[in-house]
Amino acid sequence: MIAYVTIGADDVSRAKRFYSAFLPALGYRLEEDHGDLSYTLPRPDGQPAACPDFYVKSPFNGQPASVGNGTMVAFQAGSQQQVRDLHAAALAAGDVDEGQPGFRTSYGPQFYVAYLRDPQGNKVALFSCNPNEPGRDG
């Protein structure tokens, strides 16, 4: 199980604007510590994390943050409408569209996804696979 994902950011305040535009709607709460951002999902006391935490930090080595080619972080939404809403909220926060919400022929018929680039250039996906919604072929 993945415990956490960390990405680097040179401008943490811009990253906060981007990620705070949609992560709270997915149940993440934000904690800030010494300029770093920790987005975590609530869990009962004494229970292990069910999903990975997500951290945005200045690189520990003091060098500029860089983007991994082919690296992407995906966040699951509850519905196709939520994917559309969160994608729009992230764009309104001033970030870059990397793929409008919709179905992709290379994925399963229920996989509804939108893609963004965060302020550092990291690729982010917002997706839903809700079986109670119409699929690509329906």
Domain 4-59+71-128 has CATH 3.10.180.10: yes
Pairing mode, strands 4-8 and 53-57: parallel
CB half-sphere exposure, 20, CA atoms < 13 A: 12
At residue 49, does pLDDT exceed 70? no
Half-sphere exposure of 91 (CA within 13 A, CB side): 16
What is the DSSP code (8-state) at residue 43?
-
* CA nearest to 86, candidates 133, 24, 5: 24
Domain boundaries, the chain: 4-59+71-128
pLDDT in tens, 88-136: 999 999 889 999 999 998 899 999 999 999 999 999 999 999 999 999 9
The alpha-carbon radius of gyration of the chain (Å, integer) is 15
The tokens describing 94, both together, are: 């001033």
